[in-house]
Amino acid sequence: MQPGALSTFLKRGAIWGFIVLELIFFTVAGEFLSLSEKAFMDVDNMLLLFKQSAPIGIIAMGMTIIMINGNIDLSVGAIYALSAVILLDSMTWPVFAGLGDWVIPVGWLLALLTGLVLGALNGLIVWKTGVDAFIVTLGAMLGYRGLVFMYNGEQPTSHLNWTLVDFAEAQVLGLHTATWFLLLVTAAIWFLMNRTVHGRNAYAIGNNREAAVNAGIRVGPHMMINFMIVGFLAALSAVVFYSESGSVNPNDGELYELWVITAVVLGGTKLTGGAGSILSTFGGVLAIQLLRKGLSHIGADTETVNLVIGLILIAVLFLDRQLNVKGKEELKI
């Protein structure tokens, strides 16, 4: 194996190695501390892990595209919450009173359109103003969260449709509905990034935006489409989760953007753009959820979980920076 191929293998395989280490550590630690009678690697536990990974995981697939592009979207948590409010509240609107259970696809459609439109607005502003995506989506995060609070004050928005709950809680081949959505989204985004011109352009723009423009790639519209994708997926994540829960609080989805970005970076996507892998992001999502579940399994509190994940993120970013510096030095030789 050539040195370059070995380096690529190690980078892409690192997240899966980390997951294996997590499984071993928390299994041994749980048995040693005897804090739980249930085995950490129990099959039901693992299936639940996939289900719990879905809300963050679905959004993370869209965020991977954005970050490969060299951008970032801090508004996904607010879009998630606003889409959830639209989903649940729209099913109670008098105009749809005669639809019966057919109001479910109407609610889904309105929620997904909400995410798509808000994502398009983010992308359009980034494209037409040239303002950095970090600043634009930071403002959007505050604005969209404000809309959530304006919609229903500080009160939760609730509507429980038992047909919808049955669908959300269903299992096919042992996997929950939410897990299937996560797997299908992962497969679709993998295909987009690896088998289409749009995917190749995303890497090209993230690697060198000026060169991409010179090559004839329409960078503005391309980036707008990517913001629409992540907005749509944030709304889809809300649809999947709140179809089962039936109640959304105005603060729901807060810090989701940070959990999503952590998972994407942990999967090896560069903050500077031009490099990233959908499958590695999937691994990053599982690693984050496994870490949260594992620390809880051995008795750690929420503050400890956040501290550990924060330290891991800092370590990953530092390692990524060191590798980038080393790569640039090698190019100079």
Give whole-number Cα distances, 167 to 162, 181, 240, in Å.
8, 12, 10
Q: What's the rounded Cα separation, in Å, for the pair 304 and 296?
A: 9
Radius of gyration of the chain (CA): 21
The answer to whether position 227 is within a domain reads yes
Q: Considering the domain boundaries, does residue 325 fall inside one?
A: no
> Around 212, how many Cα atoms within 13 Å sit in the side-chain half-sphere?
22
Q: How many CA atoms lie within 13 A of 219 on its CB side?
A: 20
Count other C-beta atoms under 10 Å from residue 138's C-beta.
16
Per the CB < 8 A criterion, the answer to whether 170 and 103 are in contact is: no
- Beta strands at 175-176 and 171-172: parallel, antiparallel or unpaired: antiparallel
Q: Is residue 27 part of a domain?
A: no
Torsion angle of alpha carbons 282, 284, 287, 291, nearest 10°?
Answer: -130
First to last CA, the chain: 23
Per-residue model confidence (pLDDT) at position 283: 93
In whole angstroms, what separates CA 201 from the centre of its chain? 21
Question: How many independent structural domains does the chain possess?
Answer: 1
Q: Is the residue at 68 inside a domain?
A: yes
Q: Is residue 5 part of a domain?
A: no
CATH number at residue 294: 1.10.3470
Q: Is residue 116 part of a domain?
A: yes
* Ordered per-residue pLDDT tens for the chain, 333 residues: 444 444 454 456 688 888 888 888 888 877 766 555 566 667 888 888 899 999 999 999 999 999 999 999 999 999 999 999 999 999 888 888 888 888 899 999 999 999 999 999 999 999 999 899 999 999 999 999 999 999 877 888 888 888 888 888 888 888 999 999 999 999 999 999 999 999 999 999 999 988 999 888 999 999 999 999 999 999 999 999 998 888 888 898 888 998 899 899 888 888 888 888 999 999 999 999 988 888 877 777 777 878 888 888 788 777 767 666 555 554 444
Instruction: Domain of residue 107: give its range.
Output: 49-313
The reply to whether 145 falls in a domain is yes
Rounded Cα distance between 71 and 197, Å, is 19
CA pair distance 218, 226, nearest whole angstrom: 13
235 three-class SS: helix
Asked if the structure places residue 13 within a domain, the reply is: no
The residues with which 158 forms a beta bridge, in sequence order, are 247
Helices 278-297 and 302-332 cross at an angle (nearest 10°) of 150
Q: Which two tokens stand for residue 240?
A: 């999947």
Cα separations in angstroms, 291 against 80, 230, 274, 296, 319:
23, 25, 28, 8, 20
